[in-house]
């Protein structure tokens, strides 16, 4: 929120008026950077009386090669930001930019060569009647990549599945193996940016460790940029260098992992999140209903 | 004094390739305490909870050398007698309130129905008790929630309503199967706080089933760690981090921790011998 305000301030100072997000920086070329730039992003669902503002004026920058985590409660709009970036949600306004390319309402194929997404639930994100081979070769065909045979074997090896998994169907795979297939599918297009939407929350801790290790290895090998959504602060802290905290559609705070680990959050909401993630604290105090119970 | 004694509990399911033993000889006793059962998916922790209430559907089979509630034998009870146990003496809170509440009935009616199972009394009295119970689970506006349908409430409120419904017959034992894993961390803490308080006030026994080691070690008094249908280790919850069994240690090591950053997470190496380890007498 603070970020957004400073943003507004600078526009007010420069006298640009009420359409601030087509902003002056771009003209200067200062933001012609690699990575992701989000400025004043609003996302809403429904119309008129039913309109729900899911994301409210969020500005966030992810430099190329960086790894940024988005944390917050369910309904705070963190996944919606990823969905707006990938074009899965069309009702947004603001300024989105990926690798110097400003995004419109539609995404080009070139965009998906750069940006890929891994979803939360590996049980839902793979087609039950498509074998691993079909999933990967379809993706490769869509991206007009040749040499399918070699690539599929390579991808499977990269994500730690042997070639023996190539002709299996999702029901013949465990949750962790499915998530590896989903990661292989995302990597098939050889993207530079991966959007990770709770990639390990459906998995057991031991499997989560394997997937997190895989993600950090892949990032090192391929110089990937990560934007990861998670409700688990420890997971985000493990994989990311900086963390953005969201509440009710707004970005309340960004902080580095060092600050997070040192519990040096300035916003009360972030402190509460930190405290809650350290485990249960027994108190004689009566639980208070009033602090946090969003209606959705 | 122990409220519940379980000895050599087994749950098995026939499959095309032979009988699958999901729970293989679990023994424990529960007093007026918070007993945590942790394990990964497929370890049999939820089935253990369900088997106590004899909620395993055929063709699944439950057997035990002994399963007693106070001085009553749960194994020899008829289905009708079991219905008097479920909800009244032992009740259960499930993971997701979305699937446990009746979507076409108001919250108030549902809780009153649970109350009417155990006690007679007119509608005004039932309503009164229900409103009191809603207040006890920290619902701010009981009158409004009483008239609301489940879809009008948040997940955290839904889970508190489930707890209210389960506690209104005043059972001696509450089995909570991942009661907070569908909830956000901050809401999770509130729900735990309420359960903690009610358990302490009413002298209930709580079986808390979870996959979250951190949470269990901070919330419970005692923990059973399950692997492949067996209890591999039992320890005091606050000593979970000094656990001896390699499986428990492996699980703890594989968790990323905020206070202890690590370059790589260690990956659990499963030893086939753990499957055959003796559950032993871990009462």
Going by pLDDT thresholds of 50, 70 and 90, the confidence category of residue A41 is very high
Instruction: Determine the 3-state secondary structure of B152 from DSSP.
Output: helix
For A169-209, write each residue's pLDDT tens digit: 998 888 889 999 999 999 999 999 999 998 888 888 888 89
For B83-101, write each residue's pLDDT tens digit: 888 888 899 988 777 788 8
Mean pLDDT, residues B27-51 taken together: 90
Mean pLDDT, residues B211-236 taken together: 90
DSSP 8-state code for residue A71 = E
| Bridge partner residues of A196 (DSSP) | A118, A228
Give CA–CA dist A160/A157, Å, rounded.
Answer: 5
Chain B residue with the nearest C-alpha to that of A270: B186
More reliable by pLDDT, A284 or A54: A54
Report CB contact under 8 Å: A235, B156.
no
* Residue A196 domain-assigned (yes or no): yes
Does residue A187 contact residue A113 with C-beta atoms inside 8 Å? Answer: no
Read off the tokens for A76.
């705070």
Number of domains in chain A: 1
Supply the mean pLDDT for chain A.
Answer: 82
For A227-263, write each residue's pLDDT tens digit: 999 888 889 999 999 999 999 899 999 999 999 888 8
Going by pLDDT thresholds of 50, 70 and 90, the confidence category of residue A290 is very low
For A152-177, write each residue's pLDDT tens digit: 999 999 898 888 899 999 988 888 89
Report CB contact under 8 Å: A234, B257.
yes
- Select the residue of B153, B193, B268 nearest A287 (Cβ to Cβ): B193
Q: How far is B253 from chain A (nearest CA, A)?
A: 9
Give CA–CA dist A71/B16, Å, rounded.
Answer: 44
* Residue A282 domain-assigned (yes or no): no
Range of the domain at A106: 2-276
Q: What is the pLDDT of residue A263?
A: 85
For A113-153, write each residue's pLDDT tens digit: 999 999 888 888 899 999 999 999 999 999 988 889 999 99
For residue A286, pLDDT beyond 60: no
CA atoms within a 13 Å half-sphere pointing along the CA-CB vector of B261: 14
For residue B127, pLDDT beyond 60: yes
| In chain B, where the domains are located | 97-170
Residue at token pair 């940016």: A193
The model's pTM is 0.80
Q: What is the pLDDT of residue B225?
A: 92
Residue at token pair 């428990």: B248
B256: chain A residues, CB-CB within 8 Å: 209, 212, 234-235, 237-238
Residue at token pair 């601030």: A20
Q: What is the pLDDT of residue A68?
A: 94
Chain B residue with the nearest C-alpha to that of A175: B41
DSSP 8-state code for residue A204 = -
For B176-209, write each residue's pLDDT tens digit: 998 887 777 777 888 888 888 888 888 889 999 9
Does residue B183 contact residue B156 with C-beta atoms inside 8 Å? Answer: yes
A273: chain B residues, CB-CB within 8 Å: 185-186
Instruction: Determine the 3-state secondary structure of B181 from DSSP.
Output: coil
Supply the mean pLDDT for chain B.
Answer: 86
CATH assignment at residue A25: 3.40.50.300
* Residue A295 domain-assigned (yes or no): no
* Residue A287 domain-assigned (yes or no): no
- Select the residue of B138, B255, B256 nearest A289 (Cβ to Cβ): B138
- Select the residue of B139, B153, B259 nearest A261 (Cβ to Cβ): B259
Of all residues in chain A, the percent with pLDDT exceeding 90 is: 44
* Residue A289 domain-assigned (yes or no): no
Which residues in chain B belong to E strands, given as ranges? 4-15, 18-30, 34-38, 61-63, 66-69, 72-73, 90-93, 173-177, 205-210, 222-227, 230-236
Q: What is the pLDDT of residue A6?
A: 41
Q: How far is A260 from chain B (nearest CA, A)?
A: 8
**Phi, psi (degrees; rounded to nearest 5) at A57:** 50, 55
What do you get for the CA distance between the two ends of chain A, in Å? 21
């Amino acid at each position: 929120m603070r970020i957004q305000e400073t943003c507004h301030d600078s526009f007010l100072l420069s006298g640009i008026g009420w359409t601030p997000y087509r902003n002056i920086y771009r003209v200067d070329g200062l933001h012609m950077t690699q990575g992701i730039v989000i400025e004043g992003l609003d996302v809403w669902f429904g119309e008129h009386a039913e309109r729900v503002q899911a994301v409210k004026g969020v500005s966030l920058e992810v430099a190329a090669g960086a790894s940024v985590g988005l944390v917050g409660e369910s309904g705070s709009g963190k996944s919606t930001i990823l969905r707006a970036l990938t074009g899965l949600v069309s009702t947004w306004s603001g300024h989105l930019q990926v690798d110097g390319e400003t995004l419109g309402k539609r995404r080009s194929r070139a965009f998906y060569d750069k940006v890929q997404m891994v979803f939360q639930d590996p049980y839902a994100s793979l087609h039950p009647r498509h074998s691993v081979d079909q999933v990967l070769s379809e993706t490769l065909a869509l991206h007009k990549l040749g040499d399918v045979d070699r690539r599929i074997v390579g991808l499977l090896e990269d994500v730690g599945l042997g070639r023996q998994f190539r002709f299996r169907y999702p029901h013949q795979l465990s949750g962790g193996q499915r998530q590896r297939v989903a990661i292989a599918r995302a990597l098939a297009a050889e993207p530079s940016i991966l959007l990770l939407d709770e990639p390990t929350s459906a998995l057991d801790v031991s499997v989560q460790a394997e997937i997190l290790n895989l993600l950090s290895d892949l990032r090192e090998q391929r110089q990937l940029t990560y934007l990861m959504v998670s409700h688990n602060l420890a997971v985000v802290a493990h994989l990311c260098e900086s963390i953005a905290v969201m509440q009710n559609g707004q970005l309340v705070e960004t902080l580095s992992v060092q600050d997070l680990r040192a519990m040096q959050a300035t916003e009360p909401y972030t402190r509460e999140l930190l405290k809650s993630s350290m485990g249960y604290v027994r108190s004689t105090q009566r639980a208070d209903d009033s602090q946090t119970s969003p209606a959705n | 004094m122990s409220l519940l004694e379980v000895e050599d509990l087994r749950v098995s399911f026939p499959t095309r390739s032979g009988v699958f033993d999901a729970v293989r000889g679990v023994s424990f006793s529960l007093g007026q305490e918070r007993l945590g059962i942790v394990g990964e998916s497929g370890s049999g922790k939820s089935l253990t909870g369900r088997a106590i209430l004899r909620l395993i559907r055929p063709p699944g089979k439950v057997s035990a050398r002994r399963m007693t509630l106070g001085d009553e034998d749960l194994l020899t009870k008829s289905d009708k007698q079991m219905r008097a146990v479920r909800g009244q003496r032992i009740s259960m809170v499930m993971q997701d309130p979305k699937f446990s509440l009746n979507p076409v009935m108001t919250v108030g009616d549902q809780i009153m129905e649970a109350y009417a199972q155990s006690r007679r009394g007119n509608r005004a009295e039932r309503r009164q008790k229900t409103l009191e119970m809603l207040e006890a689970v920290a619902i701010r506006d009981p009158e409004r929630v009483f008239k609301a349908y489940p879809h009008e409430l948040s997940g955290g409120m839904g889970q508190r309503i489930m707890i209210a419904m389960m506690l209104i017959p005043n059972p001696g034992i509450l089995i909570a199967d991942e009661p907070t894993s569908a909830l956000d961390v901050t809401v999770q803490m509130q729900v735990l706080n309420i359960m903690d308080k009610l358990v302490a006030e009413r002298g209930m026994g709580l079986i808390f089933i979870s996959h979250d080691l951190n949470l269990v070690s901070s919330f419970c008094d005692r923990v059973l760690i399950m692997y492949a249908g067996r209890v591999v280790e039992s320890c005091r919850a606050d000593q979970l981090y000094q656990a001896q069994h390699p499986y428990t240690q492996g699980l703890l090591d594989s968790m990323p921790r905020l206070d202890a950053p690590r370059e790589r997470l260690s990956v659990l190496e499963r030893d086939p011998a753990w499957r055959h380890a003796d559950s032993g007498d871990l009462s």
